[in-house]
Structure 1
């Protein structure tokens, strides 16, 4: 079983070909031998009929003239044996006439081999030691005074020799064809599997190489299945490589974000150790700074935990009124956001999602709008229904988002040029968390410009009727 499982594709092709070819060759050979044998036997049957007719024409004075029969017969009678029984009606006596060699032929006892080779479904075929296989046929000619029964045993040795010759030829052709076919199919199989072997060796070499770990596999032109397989593998590798790059960038950015406050904390601790006794006034200032930096670290770690949970979370969805969640979240954010928040739009608006996740997304979008909007501006939260889609928009009156930043705005740790202002707190994970939660709920999140200035983050819900 293990041998079969460890075969290569080329070996499997050769193995299956040999089995299939051998089966068809044997079937064809058997069919040829059978057809030839049946035709020859039928020919012998026809010859026996002709021999009986010629024998009846050779009778002289109610006695067969063997010499005339052999001389006038168009069929070779050398290996033919005949017995004629002449039975009178009046006396019931029978006279027997034998052709040359027939009495010796009939005197032989039937051996075990003769019984074994006797074919019950073809009773006309008999086997006799030293004479081989013969074809038997008899006929009766009825007369007014007597009946004449003629029996003929026609030797099938020429037919057997012909069949043996045919079988040997078929066997030789089978062996030659098998060897030639094995060689040809080996070349074809090797050619067909060359692309697979190339993919295998390339993948094996790349798996051992540190430099080529992000390289794609070669795509052969033929065969089509291998080409499509290579392209599918490359699509998978591209996704894995991109994900690997994102993970590396994520780790690098997370390390950078954590390194800055840690370095600042360590610096102030060192300052307090060196000069705290001589200058007690720096202790309160350093503690205040350490407290601020530790809060930033805590916020970053909490965001990382939220992202980690969101990557593996399985959400429980339900039907609920989006307007109710918006009103609750807006009331909570009004306590911490300096800008005025206005909620309006279609009510009620039933959507299918996870309520907690939607509340988190709205909080993140309102917090983001508050960071980049003037304190005297207004943040609008609007619900709009269009055809089969419900749209929730969070709009601000900030500087807006440049077009070259929009494709990356939901990437982890990505912060556009306006976000690099040191007065704006943040770690670049808020919108990434919002995007991840939206994906978990099968919600599309987009960003657009607001005229004359500002940005609009939009959540697109596919409307669904509540199950009854």
Structure 2
């Protein structure tokens, strides 16, 4: 037997429908049997009342005319028995009148069933061996020196047979309906879960295939829930696929950036080994070149470590004055950069972020501006307070960034054509690290052109509530 936790949605739907069908079928059958049974019992009760009234009408001048009653009564002696006891007069012995077969019926010995039925809960039911179940009713006619008791036993065997037939019909209908319902419900459940099964098979096929590992799942038109589920899965898969592509590109770019200086270093080492003894003058040149390339490798490794830490870092935010941090950073950068740096805008601006991360982002933006702006140009820092935000911008008048490059400016290892064509150093990780730190601190980082030429980077801090 399939365990409940291992059942499929198709099996769960089918079983739930079957249980619900059986419940309603049994409920309907019980209701039908109950209504029919109560109706038949009420008929027997009405029949007994009519019979008692006909007995009362048989009295002429306060004396019963049994012969006349027997001739005029339509009593069915096969399933109805009557006993009338006349106790009129103080010293007169009681006279008893029996309908046909009643004396034999009443003289039968009681059985355990008949004794069990004579309970306060069933005062009108009685059972007789070889006769079956009966409905009992009695009545008395009283007068001066007169006491007549009439008793009637109506057989319920016909009612029991009718109820048995109804029960058999209900059970038969239930059985046939259960078989038909099983197939119909199975078809409905299969149709309802067809989309889920298709998604499961497709996902399993993709997971086992190297070719389709980056393929999206098919989106069915119905049901709506499955369509929305497939769409959500595809959104998740798209994000995973995109992240996977970025990771592959990251590894490829990192390998490329490391391979170039390593190849140069090994080339000079080989040169020194082959010609160093005969030409000692090349040793100093090769050592200088090896030192430069190893410094580039160290800078790249440090950037990779910083990027890795930024991916996993949990920031601790504090409230501080952004203007003070900007002024502190500007003083440090004026020593390092050839360009003139101007600070404009608000004199104070409170923000909530990690102060160390903000300093690192600012250093990256100044370093980037110093690489692309001319030595005699000006780097402008603007601090603006608005109703909802605090905006910090770092602007330089170097070459503008093409719109196509703006989409990837914060990608890892990405460098635009103007950066490759010039002699600008860098590994394309600075802005990626700045963007990651900004995201961790809830800071929005933007890039825009400056007219007629130049680039402006903006950091948008949300106002403190």
Instruction: Tell me if both proteins adopt one fold, taking TM over 0.5 as the criterion.
Output: yes
Render the CA deviation track for 1:58-105: whole Å, top value 9, x for unaligned: 357945525x43442345343111111111232263222222222222
Structure 1, 440-449 or 382-391: larger mean CA deviation: 382-391
- Residue 211 of structure 2: aligned partner: 211
Contact 2:133 2:155 in 1 (8 A): yes
Post-superposition CA distance 1:116-155 (Å, at most 9, x none) = 3446323111111111111111111112221111111111
Maintained 8 Å contact 1:315/1:354: yes
Q: Which residue of 1 aligns with 2:150?
A: 150
- Distance in 2 (CA, whole Å) between partners of 1:27 and 1:64 is 51
Asked if the contact 1:47/1:75 (under 8 Å) is kept, the reply is no
Alignment partner, residue 14 of structure 2? 14
Contact 2:345/2:384, CA 8 A, preserved across alignment: yes
The separation in 2 between residues aligned to 1:2 and 1:174, in whole angstroms, is 25
How many angstroms does 1:57 deviate by? 2.7
2:131 corresponding residue in structure 1: 131
Partner residue in 1 for 2:425 = 425
Aligned twin of 2:99: 99
Please tell me whether the aligned partners of residues 140 and 148 of structure 1 are also in contact (alpha carbons under 8 angstroms): yes
Contact 1:33 1:166 survives alignment (8 Å): yes
Counterpart in the other structure of 2:66: 65
Aligned partners of 2:415 and 2:428 also within 8 Å:
yes
**What does 1:394-409 correspond to in 2, within 5 Å?**
394-409=394-409
- Report the secondary structure of 1:211's partner residue: coil
Name the CA distance, whole Å, in 2 between partners of 1:345 and 1:75.
115
CA deviation string 1:406-455 (max 9, x = no partner): 11111111111111035211000111111111111111111111222211
**Secondary structure of 2:414's partner?**
coil
* Counterpart position of 1:286: 286
In the alignment, what sits opposite 1:169?
Answer: 169
Secondary structure of 1:23 counterpart: helix
> Which residue is equivalent to 2:115?
115
Q: 1:435·1:445 contact (CA, 8 Å) conserved in 2?
A: yes
CA distance in 2, matches of 1:70, 1:208: 93
The 3-state SS of whatever aligns with 2:451 is coil
Tell me what 2:178 maps to. Answer: 178
Deviation at 1:189, TM superposition (A): 0.5
Give the stretch that moved more between structures: 426-435 or 68-77.
68-77
**1:323 alignment partner in structure 2:** 323
The corresponding residue for 1:194 is: 194
Q: Secondary structure at the match of 1:105?
A: helix
Cα distance in structure 2, aligned partners of 1:7 and 1:220: 23
Counterpart secondary structure, 2:140: strand
- 8 Å CA contact retained: 1:64, 1:97: no
Distance in 2 between the 1:341 and 1:443 partners?
Answer: 23
Distance 1:38 1:278 in 2: 124
Show the 5 A alignment for 1:360-371: 360-371=360-371
In the TM superposition, 1:235-250 aligns within 5 A as 235-250=235-250
In structure 2, the residue matched to 1:358 is 358
Inter-partner Cα distance in structure 2 for 1:292 and 1:422: 19
Alpha-carbon distance between aligned partners in 1 of 2:83 and 2:21, rounded to the nearest angstrom = 50
Q: In structure 1, how many angstroms separate the alpha carbons of the residues matched to 2:86 and 2:153?
A: 18
CA-atom RMSD, angstroms?
1.6
Q: Secondary structure at the match of 1:234?
A: helix
Tell me, in whole angstroms, the C-alpha distance in 2 between the residues paired with 1:12 and 1:439.
44
CA shift at 1:343, angstroms?
2.0
Maintained 8 Å contact 2:83/2:98 = yes
Q: Is the 8 A contact 1:448 1:457 kept in 2?
A: yes
**8 Å contact 1:119–1:126 — kept in the other structure?**
no
Structure 1: distance between partners of 2:334 and 2:390: 24
**How far apart, in 2, do the equivalents of 1:246 and 1:419 lie?**
21
Partner residue, 2:50: 50
1:445–1:460 contact (8 Å) kept in structure 2: yes
TM-score (norm 2): 0.96
How much has 1:111 moved relative to structure 2?
A: 1.4
CA–CA distance in structure 2, aligned partners of residues 179 and 147 of structure 1: 62
Instruction: Give the aligned partner of residue 272 of structure 1.
Output: 272
Could you tell me whether the CA contact under 8 Å between 2:77 and 2:100 is conserved in 1? Answer: no
Structure 1 consecutive aligned stretches of length 4 or more whose deviation exceeds 6 Å? none
2:411 equivalent in structure 1: 411
Alignment partner, residue 344 of structure 1: 344
Secondary structure, aligned partner of 1:390: strand
Task: For residue 351 of structure 1, give the secondary structure of its aligned residue in structure 2.
Answer: strand
* Structure-1 separation of matches of 2:278 and 2:115: 128
| TM-score normalised by structure 1 residue count | 0.96
Partner of 1:335, secondary structure, is helix
Q: Which residue of 2 aligns with 1:311?
A: 311
